[in-house]
Amino acid sequence: EATLDLAERRRIRSAIRELQRQELERDEEALASKRFRPERGSHRQDNKENWPRSQRLEEEQQMALAALSQQLEAITDVEELTKLLRAAGEYEERKLIRAAIRKLRAEEIEGEAPSLHPRAVT
């Protein structure tokens, strides 16, 4: 903007474009070196140290959920299940409890519904 000479402006713009191109090339090279590192196929390879621990925790959680599922089948009171739902912290626990509540409510509705079969008139 300081110069009025058009040829000088063209040279300045050309130099700016060249600097920007060089900067982009450097950025692309940096990304390429990161992008084409050997990929890791599984979670175990990504985090070898924590994998056995995380697998053990997952197995423990599955066992706890199975025990909770059996416990929920024994409960026949929606209020009790609602209390458990409010106390539960884990998503999977809450999911199981909600399913048990829906099942109980469906059973209650089936029990309250009058028979759809017409009675035989004699």
Q: What is the pLDDT of residues 13-37, one digit of tens each?
A: 899 999 999 998 888 887 777 665 5
Decide if 68 contacts 93 (C-beta within 8 A).
Answer: yes
Q: How many CB atoms lie within 10 A of CB 81?
A: 20
What is the CA 75 to chain-centroid distance, rounded? Answer: 30
Residue 26 maps to a domain: no
* Host domain of residue 80: 56-111
The model's pLDDT over 3-16, given as tens digits with 9 standing for 90+, comes to 788 888 889 889 99
When divided into structural domains, the chain yields a total of: 1
Residue 8 maps to a domain: no
| Whether residue 46 has pLDDT greater than 80 | no
Q: Using alpha carbons only, how large is the chain's radius of gyration in Å?
A: 34
**Residue type, position 47, single letter:** N
72 assigned to some structural domain = yes
Has residue 97 been placed in a domain? yes
pTM of the complete model: 0.47
